[in-house]
Structure 1
Amino acid sequence: MEQCLKSRGVHSDDLWRRKLRCQCGHAFAKTRWHSKSRDFTTYTYKCYDQTRTGTISARLKNGLSIEGVCHSPLVQDWKIHTMAQKVLHAVFDDPEGTLKNAAAVLGLGAAGVEQAEVLRDKTIIEERLKKEQGRYETLLDMRMNNEIPREVFSRKQQEVEKKIAELEQQMMQYGDVKPATEADVSGKLENLRRLMGQPPVPEDGEFSEEDIDKYVFGVRVYEDRFEWLLNLSPEARGELDDAGSPVYFTKLTVTPDDERAWFRMHPQWSKSNKYAELEAWIFI
């Protein structure tokens, strides 16, 4: 039985429910997409917040406001599987090239690497939280000095306490993520060298779900891209909250041709008539 933690992923037997995290901080719900036969069903993943509000397209169709609604797209299972193969092959197919590129990126040191977008998001939430906590302290001082009546204080207090609770809940999504230090950066290069020493490219050319579970901390879903956070120490399994200090490595595009090729290898999947380019940013 799985346990759902909407702001910190889920404990689930399903790989992508554990690995996917929305830009708004929520985990993803898994829903039935299509049944090709009695024995085979495809699925899609949707931000948990959208199970409450509805998706952007559904709200627009019904003439409802989309203010405050999460803009992350639905993620069909075939899309994330196709991306996973291209991301891991991009890293493992050419060990020498990967190490050369990593050395160029990581050789700049902590000051030169591009930190994950999630760190900027975390900083924004931290600043908003400090601001609300400051407002709360100001309210207390004003009440103690009889500068505002009790009923006004009570109303304002409830508003600020609610906002603080919401921001503290949002902060939980970031786990232990923090800016990379010089030690982090040098350690990443060493871990990558060790990993490339025995490149785990499968004989049949396809990485299994077990492989993906080992080499991917998680995938953060944005409206216009997917950020893949890789695990360079796969012997220590982990999820997105364990990613530590991810730094940008490279990005790639999954093309409609990639998607068609994946379907040819997996004829049991229902073919899509909505092929589209998918942008994957890789962090290590």
Structure 2
Amino acid sequence: MSALENQVDWYKPILAARPEWTLVGQYIDEGITGTSAEKRPQFMKMIRDAKQKTFDMIITREVSRFARNTVDTLQYTRELKSRGVEVFFINDNIKTFDGDGELRLTIMATLAQDESRKTSVRVKSGQQTSMNNGVLYGNGNILGYNRVGKEMIVDPEQAKTVKMIFELYLEGNGLVRIKDELERRGRKTSAGKDKWYPTVISHVLKNSFYCGIITYHKEYTPDYLTQKKIKNYGEIEKTTVQGNHDAIVTVEEFERVQTIMESKRSSCKNLNTGRSTGKRPRTTVWGKLLICECGHKFSMRVWDRKDRIANAAYQCYNSVHTGSYESRKKRGLPLDDICQTPMIPEWRLQMMANYIFRKYLSEKDKVLMLANSMLEAHIADTEDMDDYGTLIEEKTSELSRLNKKLDNFIEMRSEGEISKEMFKTKATELEPKILKLQSEIAELETKQIEVPEIVDYQEKLTVLQYALEQYTNADENDVPESVIEAFVEKIVASKDGFDWYLRFDGNPTNPLHCTTKGKRKSTTSISVAGELSPAIHKPSTSSNQ
């Protein structure tokens, strides 16, 4: 019988001795640390059920089974008490409804938290010993190797890819050129994908595992309570040991690669290294409205020269990651599923906006009346949009949880708390889930978009009223961004042009299709074809301008 089953059976005689108690449910977080309540899904479900009045008492063996964080223990027991739910810690003989319950609970919770700290120290000490002996941590999903039991066996086909990456880099090729060459030769990633990314190649080149050396503490956990891992930028010393696996490249080749990469980093001006403090992403009206026909949002690019003003343009996120259709075509790379929408200069978008708004929005009084009624009708609205960032964060959190769960099973096995068969069963259940999540996260990262800010229609109404009152049809002035954002639902870009979905009737269905010809602003012409809502369509305007 496993340790978990023993813990569950421990409650049976207690329940049998109290017939007035009715068992509503059991909440079990298997293989998850108790230092942080938010990382325990069953614990959080219990709290939600308590708020719904599903039960009026929680029984637990001892304080350390409830939580090993003093703050969490007191916070949740107080919240439960306020909702009429008592917590009974049986071994500690503490009931939260008793007069001295919280005082005794605080003492026991502090002791439980200190025991967690001591356990963390013991675990880290044991891990360091294992690291010194070359024990491999993680799921072993390394390009060029297959994990067989506790050993990493070289995969001959994948090893060719690893050698090719190192050889190409030592020949003077950059990460993008190596990516193109791997795709041209049809080499597969560790997940069996055809698409490569420069970051993946960079990780391969920096991984000392390929020359037979295992590097530990690339990440570390600064707080034993939160159990959140962060990248190690020199805060703690890394541990390197000679591994028991076969190397794919020589130590000399690996060190030459590191020397070249370091020289390139040092030659780059304004290169940010170390821990990032975070920056707010650039958000413009075009970044909010533009959508590619392939479904991705657009990334803003800015470049400048000393002899002219900085220019901005927008590129589909798909093209950012895979390379543009034309550049791949020139390099002879596969073109399947590659977005063909070209990069869009910001001046081209502004030029189309100026043309459309001056052509169709000349009746200012009507426009302002329509704007008022339209925005007032949507003041309480919130707009639902895909947020890959949130999804990536959720999946990353789930991946971290599963990895920690696997580490806990490893620790339980090393302490003899579970049998070899039980460990093998649990590991077999977790590893496919971990691999699947890693693949899903990698795929979602290619679709990463900026999360748009929540629309404040009350503020927008005030701004729009002012902008429209100030706006005239003078050719030298650009249409204000507030006006564009208010009257444009979205702009779908493709290689064939732009579909402008306008809010003129409050429910746009037929877009206004625009195309442009010319590479320079001074020589570019605009062609518009489509039907507008009759609400403010100029009577003299034909369907083709």
The TM-score with structure 1 as length reference comes to: 0.49
The TM-score with structure 2 as length reference comes to: 0.30
Higher normalized strand content (fraction of residues): 1
